[in-house]
Amino acid sequence: MTRAGSGRQRDTQRGNEGGARAGRRAPGQPSASLPPGLSAADLARAKAAAASLSGPDFDDDDWTAADGGGERDSLTDVPGGVRLQKVLAAAGVGSRRYCEELIGEGRVEVDGEVVRRFGARVDPQHQIIRVDGKRIPVREDLVYIALNKPAGVLTTMSDSRGRPTMADLLGDTAERLFHVGRLDLDTEGLMLLMNDGDLAHRLAHPRFGVPKTYLAEVSGPVPKDLGRQLITGVELEDGVASADRFRVVERLGTRALVEITLHEGRKHIVKRMLATAGHPVSRLVRTQVGPVTLGSLRPGTTRRLSTKEVGELYAAVGL
Ligand code: URA
């Protein structure tokens, strides 16, 4: 889909005609026409309210940056595109009215440019939209799923030996999904799956160092300095591995429950680190990947990630 062309032309024309319109001010000229005590944001809100009275199909071509009290943006309207506030509302940012307020307040960017027109038409398939600098997942064809993998399920989508795989838990969507990294057959907990290849790739790539947190049941008793040892680094056969954080959750006599966070992705890394430190793991559960937590998701079930979670995942890998 081309995004340039007639839209830009129309925008330019509108800019040229605009000087003759009542209430329009030249760039840089102070907003002398605003009544005392009324801020540009107030005016923008009033416009949004008035627009909503005219129903969803009001002619938003009459709304301009100068009308809204903000700086004129030079974003090209995408021919046949969708109104920005509609895209934001559909992504779960809030009601259309609220999204219009965000736009009026200059908090919304499209492809790196602040857009203050309520009716700007955008292409959610190809454009990057941010609110307060945070990317909003706006593509409706993209799905982001958290799965609580039970022990005994392979982190693959098929198995030549007929063992249970994640596909058995995911149903119809399974084929199209990438899974972010792997867990051992006997490890339980949070797996992220998505059809957003770019994000999945980055989340799994060691370069981005996305932290993962695990709860491990280990043989005890656990000495006071175990955390220090793990954070300083443990020598493994393929090099030193270190934890970012460590804490003892519970002491259970000859066993202990510990929580460890690390941004490593090497095979069996948690089990190897703890075994090397003298505390072999008898049960391992992943509870967090980046900003996404397992929470109360029941084993063997899935949930869709929220807009906020996906936005935070993007931020975690610089997208
Ligand atoms: N570390 C392990 O030892 N196993 C896993 O499944 C994940 C991290």
- Lay out the sheet containing 108-110: strands in order across: 113-114, 108-110, 129-131, 134-135
Q: Which residue has the higher pLDDT, 93 or 39?
A: 93
Q: Poorest-confidence range of 79-83, 151-155, 169-173, 232-236?
A: 169-173
What is residue 176's predicted lDDT score, i.e. its pLDDT?
85
Residues 309, 252 share a domain: no
Which residue's C-alpha comes closest to atom 3 of ligand 1? 268
CATH of the domain at 285: 3.30.2350.10
285 in helix, strand or coil?
A: strand
Residue 2 has pLDDT above 50, yes or no: no
Q: pLDDT digit string (tens) for 82-98?
A: 999 999 999 999 999 99
Question: Is residue 65 within 6 Å of ligand 1 at its C-beta?
Answer: no
Are 183 and 130 contained in the same domain? no
Q: Crossing angle for the helix pair 40-53 and 96-104, nearest 10 degrees?
A: 150
Pocket test for ligand 1, best of 148, 187, 190 (most atoms within 8 A of CB): 187
Domain shared by 189 and 307, yes or no: yes
202 Cβ below 6 A of ligand 1: no
Tell me if 212 CB under 6 Å of ligand 1: no
The pLDDT-based confidence of 67 (bands split at 50, 70, 90) is very low
Whole-number percent of the chain with pLDDT over 90: 70
Per the structure, the count of domains in the chain is 3
What is the pLDDT confidence band of residue 294, given thresholds at 50, 70 and 90?
Answer: very high
Tell which wins on pLDDT, 78 or 28: 78
Residue 184 annotated to the active site: yes
- Calculate the dihedral angle through the C-alpha atoms of 272, 277, 282, 287, rounding to the nearest 10 degrees: -70
Question: Which CATH number does the domain housing residue 124 bear?
Answer: 3.10.290.10
- Per residue in 191-236, pLDDT (tens digit) is 999 999 999 999 999 999 999 999 999 998 999 999 999 999 999 9
Q: Flag whether 45 is in a domain.
A: no
Q: Structure pTM?
A: 0.76
Q: What domain range includes position 125? A: 82-135
Q: How far is the CA of 214 from the centre of ligand 1 (A)?
A: 8
Alpha carbon distance 152, 159 (integer Å): 13
**Residue in 184, 196, 198, 238 annotated catalytic:** 184
C-alpha to C-alpha distance for 189 and 259, rounded to whole angstroms = 13
The verdict on residue 46 lying in a domain is: no
Candidates 182, 217, 242, 268: which one to mutate for ligand 1, based on the most atoms within 8 Å of Cβ?
A: 268
pLDDT of residue 60: 39
Please work out whether the CB of residue 243 comes within 6 Å of at least one atom of ligand 1: no
Inside any domain, residue 94: yes
Which atom of ligand 1 has the smallest separation from the CA of 268? Answer: 3
Residue 68 lies in a domain: no
Name which residue sits closest to atom 2 of ligand 1, judged by CA: 268
